[in-house]
Amino acid sequence: MAAARTAASAARSPGAPAAAAAARTRRPPSARPARLPPLLVLLAAAAGPGAGGAARLYRAGEDAVWVLDSGSVRGATANSSAAWLVQFYSSWCGHCIGYAPTWRALAADVRGPYPLALWRCSASAAAGLHPGFIPRMTPPAPVEIWEVGCQVRMTGTPLPPPPSLSWGHRGLPRLSSPPDPLVESLKASATTSAPGLYPSCVLTFISSSVTPPGCLESRFFEAPVPVPGCFPYWAAAIRVAALDCAEEKNQEVCRAYDIHFYPTFRYFKAFTKDFTTGENFKGPDRELQTVRRTMINFLQNHTDGNRPPACPSLDPIRPSDVLSLIDKRGDRYVAVLLEDDSSYVGREVILDLIPYESIEVRRALGSDTAFLQKLGVPSLPSCYLIYPNGSHGPVTVGKPLRSFFSSYLRSLPGVRKKPGSLPGRPSRDESSEAVVWRDFDRSKLYTADLESGLHHLLRVELAAHRSLAGAELKTLKDFITVLAKLFPGRPPVRKLLEMLQEWLASLPLDRIPYDAVLDLVNNKMRISGIFLTNHIKWVGCQGSRPELRGYSCSLWKLFHTLTVGAGTHPKALDGTGLEDDPQAVLQTIRRYVHVFFGCKECGEHFEEMAKESIDSVKTPDQAILWLWKKHNLVNSRLAGHPSEDPKFPKVPWPSPDLCPACHEEIKGLGTWNEGQVLLFLKQHYGRDNLVDTHSADLGGPGEGAPAPGEKQEGSQAPPEQPPADHGAESLRPPSLLPPRAHLSERSQPGLDLLLGSRAGGEGRRGAEAAAAFLGMGFSSLDMSLCVVLYVASSLFLMVMYFFFRVRSKRWKVKHHHPSV
């Protein structure tokens, strides 16, 4: 009934018309405390890698994607023998979440020519390799057994491979009834490989279409010790990687690579000696096939000198070269893929066969009909095979597709994997922590969410911009002004924002380095009473999985508190230049989203909505309602999207149980009562509804500083920051710092000096290091002030000196005059 009402109201509402259908099938979220079912909490806690802060969308060792981070990206891409395609993403960005399956599929696709499935079968090696097992698992559809190996996972502890791991059975095409020798060999191995020690077995098959009976799972899974057959195929030439810029430890590196929006795709050529930010990939679309083809083009853009050594030539050979190969005997097969100019099949098959020896794959263009007739090739693409014994002829495959050609060539007698030629992979990420669920009340607003979001905004999102000038700087100034005047959080944070605003407002410069902003945010001057947590702790913005909700949820909440703040405190913006404009807060938010919000597509959608209707806003109350309506439009657009948290379905908000008065029926149709919605929004996003429970590290009410050794989720000190600068001390609550004077009046000249030295770039770091060394704990501001005072007192002494000199001369002249 409630759901039906929500749906009807959504249908009538200008704010959320399209959400009606979604709401029909969804139960509105309850206003009661949000608890996850105990089983989900347990599952979340046991989720293992990726459940915590690290590698949230891609999991090292589980996905075929290479998971890079600040510590590995430079080493991996610099002077590498393979090229790289790296996706710089943000784990909170909805578009990145939506794109992740494609990226995983791409990585898996170039890792092996078929989706490889590794099935963990049965509880013991003995059972898993029971001679009857293979016949039993013969599925109705033919399955080709590619490699069979026994590998072990016992409560997550890697064990050495069993002695019999060396079996590899391949070249058994279309196994409809397993040959006896295979079963016999498995049986023999099972008995020799200590079944008690090695309790589970990994079997690698081509084709993942059918799950063998008795198997526990059918998904990509990497054994702790590599199993033959699950090495990447193209990886010796080009690798597909991802790096999460939402992780604080990666922020510096994302800045160094000039990443402003997510996802950003960059290619890195092989053997690049000097540091490079890579080449942008902005293809017409980012579908798997388009990206795979662009990877091939990119490989072809290498010169002969820097082409990855494992990558065979991808250029076509001439018909005359093909003819000269025929009738020649050799020690290997030569396969020639004949295709037309626009086809990629030949190059894909060449790359698929990289790890194999005793075969060479080339491609030739089949534009010459006489040539094709001579070879007896009726259509394109086709494969012409020259055997080691010199015989030759066209190959017959079921369909002229990459997978058919590759499979056929790999299963030729004598074609084997090259021993030890394949690269290792980054190991499984074991560093992540379990998620701890915090119960919360959906009718409340949590300080922890707003302040965690602000921390991410100021220290991570802005950090994508090395320096700020022009429209960017103006946007930042206005946004910080709005925050300083309207942010409803705790006094230390409000003070920090005020200081930042005053500083930005009085800046004479038209370009500032981001690091100067960061110094203020980190309170390097150690002004007491100023502090912003450097931890992320989501409460009302928790997601049931680590990649869901979080920052983007907190940003929406922050924006709503700002429009509500302007509506309920009409004088708050007086004297800022933003007063008297009912759209001022909305327009500032709009510009922030456009310029700084890392999710580019989100920003573009928001801009479209703003262009359409923001001009209709004539009062602060209308601004509150405008943002509410647009947020509901976004909700309805994203209902069912992969970034939707199933525990927090995207339904028109506020739901009837959160605000019964907001919903009413007119002639049987549910609709919004906008007057009530406005009242509700003012109450919900007002200061009085803010709850400090779970607020960390603020030195005020709430939980206070974490217990020693307690690790907060997402907490990482920014890299490359010496402890004296951004380390624990400067980020400690003010109450824990040594008492220092309030510097609001005297801070300005010092900050300008600091900035002046920053404008010189890296020299600043050196200056700071020197300051730390000489100043025994004095900040660079302290040192700057000393210099200012020193120069001022010298000037004063010089002025006094000249003053007295002139006076004494006059005095002498006066007293000697009569005698002249």
Ligand X SMILES: Cc1cc2nc3c(=O)[nH]c(=O)nc-3n(C[C@H](O)[C@H](O)[C@H](O)COP(=O)(O)OP(=O)(O)OC[C@H]3O[C@@H](n4cnc5c(N)ncnc54)[C@H](O)[C@@H]3O)c2cc1C
CB of 35 to ligand X, least distance (A): 15
CB of 766 to ligand X, least distance (A): 39
CB-nearer residue toward ligand X: 678 or 743 = 678
CB of 637 to ligand X, least distance (A): 7
CB of 92 to ligand X, least distance (A): 8
CB-nearer residue toward ligand X: 115 or 642 = 642
CB of 243 to ligand X, least distance (A): 20
> What is the bridge-based pairing of β-strands 511-513 and 467-469?
antiparallel
- Going by the DSSP 8-state scheme, the letter that residue 390 receives in this structure is S
Burial class (CB in 10 A: 0-12, 13-18, 19+), 135: exposed
- What is the residue whose two structure tokens read 């590619």? 146
CB-nearer residue toward ligand X: 167 or 556 = 556
CB-nearer residue toward ligand X: 268 or 606 = 606
CB of 777 to ligand X, least distance (A): 40
CB-nearer residue toward ligand X: 311 or 634 = 634
Compute the chain's Rg from CA coordinates. 33
AA letter at 449: D
Helix axes 551-568, 620-638, angle to 10 degrees: 160
CB of 355 to ligand X, least distance (A): 38
- Of 96, 215, 254, 541, which residue is the catalytic one? 96
CB-nearer residue toward ligand X: 237 or 634 = 634
Question: Coil, strand, or helix at residue 738?
Answer: coil
**Per-position b or e across 234-250, b if 16+ CB within 10 A of its CB:** bbbbbbbbbbbbbbbbb
CB of 436 to ligand X, least distance (A): 18
Residue with nearest beta carbon to ligand X: 94
Residue 205 CA to residue 549 CA, distance in Å, equals 37
CB of 97 to ligand X, least distance (A): 7
Residue 381 preceded by cis peptide, ω within 30: yes
CB-nearer residue toward ligand X: 8 or 118 = 8
Taking the CA of residue 612 as centre, how many other CA atoms within 13 Å lie in the half-sphere pointing to its CB?
9
- Going by the DSSP 8-state scheme, the letter that residue 777 receives in this structure is T
**Per-position b or e across 513-544, b if 16+ CB within 10 A of its CB:** bbbbbbbbbbbbbbbbebbbbbbbbbbbbbbb
Question: Coil, strand, or helix at residue 36?
Answer: coil
CB of 653 to ligand X, least distance (A): 3
What is the sign of the dihedral through the CA atoms of 808, 811, 815 and 820?
A: positive
**Per-position b or e across 210-232, b if 16+ CB within 10 A of its CB:** bbbeebeebebbbbbbbbbbbbb
> Where does this chain bind ligand X (CB under 6 A)?
94-95, 541, 549, 552-553, 555-557, 560, 593, 601-602, 605-606, 628, 631-632, 634-635, 638, 641, 643, 645, 648, 653
CB-nearer residue toward ligand X: 41 or 658 = 658
- What is the residue whose two structure tokens read 């203020």? 520
CB of 317 to ligand X, least distance (A): 47
* 93 labelled catalytic: yes
CB-nearer residue toward ligand X: 74 or 641 = 641
Contact 238, 82 (CB under 8 A): yes
Contact 535, 712 (CB under 8 A): yes
Give CA separation, 184 vs 129, 131, 132, 147, 189, in Å: 10, 7, 11, 15, 9
Taking the CA of residue 157 as centre, how many other CA atoms within 13 Å lie in the half-sphere pointing to its CB?
6
CB of 538 to ligand X, least distance (A): 9
AA letter at 385: L
- Of 93, 254, 541, 659, which residue is the catalytic one? 93
CB-nearer residue toward ligand X: 640 or 777 = 640
* 659 labelled catalytic: no
CB-nearer residue toward ligand X: 443 or 481 = 443
Give ∠ CA 761-765-766 in degrees, rounded to 5.
105
CB-nearer residue toward ligand X: 306 or 693 = 693
Burial class (CB in 10 A: 0-12, 13-18, 19+), 180: exposed
Helices (H), 437-550: 447-456, 470-486, 491-505, 514-521
Residue 496 CA to residue 505 CA, distance in Å, equals 14
CB proximity list for 24: less than 8 A, separation 6 or greater:
3, 4, 7
CA 62 vs. chain centroid, Å, equals: 17
Q: How many CB atoms lie within 10 A of CB 809?
A: 10
Catalytic machinery residues: 93, 96
